[in-house]
Amino acid sequence: MFPERFSNLPAYAFPRLRALLDVHEAGGEAIHMTIGEPRHAFPPWIMDVIADNAHEFARYPENDGTGPLRAAICDWVGRRYGVTLDAEHNVLALNGTREGLYNAMMALCPEQKGGVPVVLVPNPFYQVYMVAALSVGAEPVFVPAARETGYLPDYASLPEEVLNRVAVAYLCSPSNPQGAVAPESYWRDLIGLAERYDFKIFADECYSEIYRDAPPVGALEVAAKMGADPERVVVFHSLSKRSNLPGLRSGFAAGGPESINRMKRLRAYAGAPLPMPLQRAAEAVWADEAHVNENRALYRAKYAAADEIMAGVPGYLGPEAGFFLWLPVQDGEEAALRLWQQTGVRVLPGAYLSQDTSQGNPGKAYIRVAMVAPIDEMARGLTALRDCLYN
């Protein structure tokens, strides 16, 4: 006997990509532009912090995050967003934000809301959103995040009977894969919609520190200005992109005291807290901005290089933030296979990040290109991509 709710899951994006490409020879030296794994240097002093605290590998980690780690997170939120959080009641340290994005659904989504609860998911999306919804028996409703809506989902356009059943809405800003930033007006409208229909917003802000010009506004920041219910929004942040530390697995969730308390309670039974030496390292990393500024400068140089190389490509739109290009093609799978066979450049078909709906698959006519490699390698890959697909 096996659960039906996971029976129709498509293969995950990267095994699916390997099945598409790896049966064919590369047309040149392989250039990997598929996975959003940062390849810039992380602060070297982190290794000293971990080594100095290595004896704490002998201890069970603190489940909710150490007091100093939660204090460092609160200090960062205050500096970055001007929002005051209580380290005891508003913050939970995470073993990577994917854990939090999943377990928040387990802890906070009600079993019923006018029948089967609805979870709103932008389409395309980070795949954990869908699986979290299915895990709690909710109905995921996929809302296109297309060029026509600024690559942000128009949740307010949904029928009243759907909105009345919404329990949770996911929103990623800056978005993966399109690099769109939700402005304050968008957040205000979404928070207002959530208050009208009484649902929670799970704000995935993991790319918030990689941007071209102005720092993206945050959901907690807007909610505080509006005087919204503190339980209305839960935000998720990570050191993976901000500090080039995907392997550290350090992130956090922040929200209202009842939401965080319920997440802590579930995590006490089913969580996997970050090892203590890594929590000590995370304390130091959240407190330091110098390496973040250096990292952002590297990405700004990459934006400029991509804009120059892709200038004149029909439909090209450089991202506002994040480190992906979302490039229009006729068919994403066909383009990715042709690119691999002719040049050795690996990219991800957009359909692998999207869900088929009655309106089609909004990622089918796109490819996602990760700008994480050193700039010279990235430029070679983009030049080969442009010449292969657009000339």
- 80: pLDDT confidence band, cut at 50, 70 and 90? very high
The answer to whether residues 263 and 92 touch, using CB atoms and an 8 Å cutoff, is yes
Distance CA 157, CA 172 (A): 18
pTM: 0.97
Residues pairing with 254 in the sheet:
91, 235
| Predicted pLDDT of residue 71 | 98
Binning pLDDT at 50, 70 and 90, where does residue 377 land? Answer: very high
Q: What was the pLDDT predicted at 208?
A: 98
Look at residue 105 and tell me whether its pLDDT is greater than 90: yes
Q: How far out from the chain centre does Cα 7 lie?
A: 25
User: Residue 288 pLDDT > 90, yes or no?
Assistant: yes
pLDDT single digits (tens) 316-350: 999 999 999 999 999 999 999 999 999 999 999 99
Does the domain at 45-288 match CATH 3.40.640.10? Answer given as yes
| Residue carrying the six token digits 């030296």 | 29
The average confidence (pLDDT) of the chain is 97
Looking at the chain, the whole-number percentage of residues with pLDDT higher than 70 is 100
Q: What percent of the chain has pLDDT over 90?
A: 96
CATH 3.90.1150.10 fits 10-36+291-389, yes or no: yes
DSSP letter assigned to residue 390: T
CATH 3.90.1150.10, the chain: domain bounds:
10-36+291-389
CATH 3.40.640.10 spans which residues of the chain?
45-288
Beta strands 366-370 and 348-349 are antiparallel
CA dihedral 139, 145, 149, 150 (to 10 degrees): 140
List pLDDT tens digits, range 26-47.
Answer: 999 999 999 999 999 999 999 9
Q: Once rounded to an integer, what is the mean pLDDT over residues 268-289?
A: 96
